[in-house]
Amino acid sequence: MTDMNRRSLLTGTVALAAGGSIPAPAADQAAPEQPGAPEAPAGRRSPRPAGGDAVTVLPGDPRYEALVVGNNARWVGRPESVRLVASTEQVVRAVQEAVDGGKRISVRSGGHCYADFVFNSEVQLVIDTTPMHAVHFDEQRRAFVVEAGATLLQAYEELYKTWGVTIPGGRCYSVGAGGHVTGGGYGFLSRKHGLTSDHLYALEVVVVGADGRARSVVATREPDDPHRDLWWAHTGAGGGNFGVVTRFWFRTPGAEGEDPAELLVRPPKEVLINAAALPWASLDSANFAALVRNYGRWHERNSSPDSPYATLCSFLTLCHQSNGTVSLLTQIDGTLPDAERLLADYLAELTGGSRITLQPLTRPAGEDRAMPQLFTPRRLPWLTATKYLGSNNAALANPTLRGAHKSVYLRQGFTDEQIAALYRNLTRTDHHNPTSTVSLLSYGGRINSVRPDETASVQRDSTFKALFQSLWPDQADDDANIAWTREIYRDVFAATGGYPVPGDQTDGCYINYADTDITDPAHNRSGIPWYTLYYGANYPRLQRIKAAYDPRGIFRHPQSITPA
């Protein structure tokens, strides 16, 4: 599922998940049901909370089963309890009780973590922040507050309807802010305005000191803030490392004045959108190669911050041949005087040198439902388009889907050998899944105007990303789909040990597209450790911050940062 989309590490968890500081289990060994939770009589109801207390849900409570699984149905937890928190004070109490009782904890906001960082057999208490979803303006800090349990759509609607502003976040409406922001976050507006976390002014985090006491800390980007390192760590390190984020404050760097409407990103009044299909019947190896090559070359040429195409964002979803089609979804600022020409030129360049003819998208492709009405480019108000494109994601509405995911940042387009590997695996006749895909996602622009060490999001010169994934509804199909995802990824990056090592062409992987294989030398044979693929040269600083703010290692999961 794309992040621009969620994609989120913790593309859905809050800024923490507890699992153990152990190698990630092999993806195909995960069981949907995990032992460890005490049994309770069927229909048992959890105790009613006293005034000011969080809601506690126990096994046997009718609500329990819905609260111990996220968007990826492969990962199901069996915690002793789920704590639904509505305030920072409730989070502090929940964390303190867990520390005092020696309980392993994890945190959920939107539930979109791709891996088993939140729901696994080690976790005994899940802190669920979904009741914390307020969005408001803080006059004292001149910044917009978004609580960690708010979904992206809740944030977009409140910010835009009340003040006419937004954050440049992901497409998927139900992703929680808690995980999305801490992993960097990006979406349709990021080429113009940067990552979501580039606009993060401050955040509140519940941490645990060496004395074992839980407390809340507010960290800002102000140069003289003693907690500035904690702010920095939450601008791209992902969730589950330092504490529990309860709320964020957003203000665009350099924004001045007292008027809230001038302090954050203003989206365009309207956007111009096109959705098209490229039938597999027209995609022989030569046409496929031309399409993928053109996408990469166009992004190499048009991803500077001052490019006239800075507002254009395009998803090219290479579906497995069993789908019947490849899809292309493109959005550009509709208020530009030459928006139609820019879009038309882009589409023409993408199909240049091939015999491909774009057609209406009349069938589902990847995560999207059919969108034939958008074949003729259509103008929509920005918020209307944002809600439509987010809710048109069929995968978000299907609670049975299981997933395997891998990612890459690309500085340059795929090589001929890599394109051949993509084609070979996408046309395999021994695999049949219409939702096995490789999605190419526009990047660059304003994102690349920030230094790699200015935030924890180190990848600052890529031109596009790719998300390799397979989605399926039945556990019986786990092995086949996990194997296909591993094999296409391994073949594409065969020259570098099966993973996209930092170099001239690629720059590692996206932490919000958590990959359970990245720590396993049987799959990652690159010789480059997982933390370098995610964090590059920023990792040693993250380790020092980990040691300072989580000296007891309370907040950890299979790929969490280890202290210096």
Would 41 be classed as within a structural domain?
no
pLDDT, position 8: 37
Please give the mean pLDDT across all residues of the chain. Answer: 92
**3-state percent helix, strand, coil for the chain, nearest multiple of 5:** 30, 20, 50
Pairing relationship of beta strands 135-138 and 125-128 according to DSSP bridges: unpaired
- 369 vs 34, more confident: 369
Answer yes or no: is pLDDT of 269 > 70. yes
pLDDT > 90? residue 519: yes
**pLDDT confidence band for 16 (50 / 70 / 90):** very low
Instruction: Give the separation between CA 534 and CA 551, rounded to whole angstroms.
Output: 22
pLDDT at site 52: 81
Rounded to 5 degrees, what are φ and ψ at 88?
-60, -40
318 and 418 housed in the same domain: yes
Q: Measure the CA dihedral 223/229/235/240, to 10°.
A: -160
Assess whether pLDDT exceeds 80 at residue 34.
no
Residues 431 and 448 in one domain: yes
Q: Which helix (H) or strand (E) holds 230?
A: helix 228-233
Beta carbons within 10 angstroms of residue 39's beta carbon: 9
Dmax over Cα atoms in the chain, in whole Å?
A: 69
Q: Among 3-17, 88-102, 205-219, 250-264, whose mean pLDDT is lowest?
A: 3-17
Return phi, psi of residue 320, to 5°: -55, 150
Q: Give the whole-angstrom CA distance, residue 76 versus residue 60.
A: 15
Q: Identify any residues that bridge with 410 across adjacent strands, giving them in sequence order.
A: 464, 506
Residue 235 and residue 151: Cα distance in Å, rounded? Answer: 18
Element (H, E) at 405: strand 402-410
Structure tokens at 225: 């803030």
Has residue 85 been placed in a domain? no
Give the model's pLDDT for residue 56.
98
Q: Which helix (H) or strand (E) holds 294?
A: helix 285-301
Q: Which residue has the higher pLDDT, 31 or 323?
A: 323
Percent share of the chain, pLDDT over 70: 91
Residue 10 has pLDDT above 50, yes or no: no
**Mean pLDDT, residues 476-484:** 98
Residue 95 is assigned to a structural domain of this protein: no
Whether 251 and 276 share a structural domain: no
Residue 248 to residue 144: CA distance in whole angstroms: 8
In tens, the pLDDT along 361-394 reads 999 999 999 999 999 999 999 999 999 999 999 9
Contact present, 260 and 308 (Cβ < 8 Å)? no
441 and 484 co-located in one domain: yes
Q: How far apart are CA 24 and CA 39, in angstroms?
A: 27
Residues 6+ apart with CB under 8 A from 14: 107, 108, 109, 127, 129, 148, 149, 176, 178, 179, 239, 244, 245
For residues 489 and 496, the answer to whether their CB atoms sit within 8 Å is: no
Both 313 and 230 in one domain: the answer is no
User: Is 402 among the domain residues?
Assistant: yes
111 in Cβ contact with 71 (< 8 Å):
yes
Q: Is the same domain home to 261 and 277? A: no
Q: Is the pLDDT of residue 24 over 60?
A: no
pLDDT band at 37 (very low <50, low <70, confident <90, very high): very low
Q: Are residues 288 and 435 in the same domain?
A: yes
Half-sphere exposure of residue 86, counting CA atoms within 13 Å on the CB side? 8
- Tell me which residue range forms the domain holding 234: 135-266+545-549
pLDDT confidence of 47, banded at 50, 70, 90?
A: low
Contacts of 102-106 with C-beta under 8 Å, sequence gap 24+, read 104/18, 104/19, 104/20, 105/16, 105/18, 105/554, 105/555, 106/13, 106/16, 106/17, 106/18, 106/19, 106/77, 106/79, 106/240, 106/557
pLDDT tens for each residue of 59-73 = 999 999 999 999 999
Output the pLDDT for position 240: 86
> Among all chains, which residue has been given the structure tokens 């509505």?
86
Q: What is the pLDDT of residue 39?
A: 41
Domain check: are 283 and 256 in the same one? no
Do 505 and 362 share a structural domain?
Answer: yes
- For residue 46, the model assigns a pLDDT of 57
**How many residues are listed for the chain in this entry?**
564
Tokens of 276: 């098209």
Residues linked to residue 83 through DSSP beta bridges, in sequence order: 56, 127
DSSP state letter for 506: B
For residues 265-283, give the mean pLDDT: 98
For residue 387, count CB atoms less than 10 angstroms from its CB and return exposed for 0-12, middle for 13-18, buried for 19 or more: middle
Instruction: Check whether residue 472 and residue 392 sit in a common domain.
Output: yes
Same domain membership, residue 461 and residue 356: yes
Domain membership of residue 172 (yes or no) is yes
Q: Which amino acid is at 466?
A: A
In a domain, 400, yes or no: yes
User: DSSP 3-state assignment of 378?
Assistant: strand
Sign of CA dihedral 402, 404, 409, 410: negative
> Quick check: 118 pLDDT over 80?
yes
Q: In what order do the strands lie in the sheet with 125-128?
A: 55-57, 81-84, 125-128, 105-108
Residue 460 lies in a domain: yes
Quick one: which H or E segment has residue 135?
Answer: strand 135-138
Q: Do residue 382 and residue 313 come from a single domain? A: yes
**How many domains does the chain fold into?**
2
Q: Which tens digit of pLDDT belongs to each residue from 385-437?
A: 999 999 999 999 899 999 999 999 999 999 999 999 999 999 999 999 999 99
482-492 pLDDT, tens per residue? 999 999 999 99
- 392: its two tokens: 């048109």
Per the CB < 8 A criterion, the answer to whether 289 and 283 are in contact is no
- Kindly list the distances between the CA atom of residue 181 and the CA atoms of 14, 187, 502, in Å, as whole numbers in the listed order: 9, 11, 23
Which helix (H) or strand (E) segment holds residue 418: the answer is helix 416-426
pLDDT given at position 50: 55
As separate numbers, helices (DSSP H) first and strands (DSSP E) second, the chain gives: 12, 16
Q: Give pLDDT, residue 48.
A: 54
* CATH code of the domain covering residue 481: 3.40.462.20
Q: Is residue 327 part of a domain?
A: yes
Tell me the CATH number at 248.
3.30.465.10
